[in-house]
Chains A and B, each alone.
Chain A
């Protein structure tokens, strides 16, 4: 299985409607999150109890209304989106690097080394990570950086397994034998011949793990262990919105809708990429 990361392949991958549409949506959201707050004169933390629970209106630039503490929801939502996306991308990147390195090493080494490394993965898999993350967050007092690490630590296992499986399959392919014959040293074989051919699968997986990372972060916020006030994330906003559901439904609906949109877009993107790369993956 292989996917040459060429211009041609990128063209093919982006030809699919799913990829194009979800990709565009994500780009729009990201740009809005970056630039949005500057469109409004409000900030994300000022409370104004006189203006609490206002529904969305164009007056006074309260595009998304305000929450129960009088904070502007538009700016909060945009800034929360920024945080959510940042956390998701960084955490996924961490799990990607860890997963690929570990999986490719285990797969290429093979034999006992591989068996041992995968045994460790099995053990880690069995640990209900969410619990450990909670524990860590409680113990280490909600360090912002720790969130990235914790979320990344959850997802790298899947990536490692996938990469290892792919590496095992690729290792048996003739072009790897040819490379060994020529005299390419093992590290180079992995870096030059195996990893580039993993990229297709890896990219698909990353787009599918990003939603997971976002959900984990949201869950942590839900438990009160995530982003600390006054900073906020989409998950935290949704949680906050739940308690105001009856009086200010927009406080729940807007961030929830945005969150769902982001998650769906990543899922569609991942699916679309997988479909686009798959026939190439099967090409023999």
Chain B
């Protein structure tokens, strides 16, 4: 019986001009956005690899110089674009793409691509993710709002029920029909996307499980909208009321919730201005964390300790280069200051993110947004992970150079020069993104929100079948 109702529903939909038009529009938008996303991913990927190789080459070929001068010259590293960013570019346009690794300073990952775009981007970009998150739910609403309210309005609901069809059967039939109709629209594009993911990239072994998890997330999300649409359609007297309520739900989720969450999070967990942040770091390095241990006295103490350790009278008598030791000590002090300030900043950002995820229990669109970005590797967490990884590399780099100065430059001071073998000896910087289970674990709250929403709405649909009114 369910199948018969589903078949009738599908036939109804396919004969409706609304359905055909929406199918064409959604297919075109989804294909275009994914294809362009794919193209720009490939371009950026190639460019990133090229620039990374060139930057490394510049570092290797800098000729003979003092290791500390080389540490000032430094190395640029570039953030790789994850493959699934073609589905969901996430925050990538709003985070930097490159960072200069050098001595003494922790630089921000800079050059946000969003600054090289017009204000139009702030309306929201057309991406596969935005089609899936915003347009498809709207399509579900447009197709499903008359499901029962329409039958009730026309009086056919009374007829159908009088034939002995149980309300539960009717609803499930309608649901199956809608699901099949929607799959007709989405399946071709999905097949295309899957083939791209599997065939198109060298890292498909890694991408594949992420794509699957992402798909599962979107199925849950779209299921929520279908259940809500059916629920509202069941309980509304007229199609007009059903439509207005559902549109309200969509607008609240798609348009209002993200911005509401932004301002709520900023207000609850304020972050310092860039000026305050850099000033605080500068002050702490210069005057000591508690303000009572200035840089000069730290160096003087280090000098006395080193002299005592080697039982030498003056710095010149030391068997090692004191500059190397002093520089490394300064570096380590700076690192502890960076750790403190960046730790606090990232904790604040993390709390803002958690707040947004928690709001996902109220607005499922917020939950899927976080989930989708995380699985695509384009969320805040990933950009933080990249920044930390680059910073770890910077510390290794500077440490290696300072050690060389300390051990090999004993009696030459700053006149000591090292050669290309030292530069070439540094291992390559390779960013290792976190594993799948970490990305999924990180989003426990978003998953929970989606599952909860789906089970509650489906539960309500089931309960409403018992009290279905014919008029």
The answer to whether A and B belong to the same complex is no
B residues sitting closer than 8 Å to A (CB atoms) are none
A residues sitting closer than 8 Å to B (CB atoms) are none
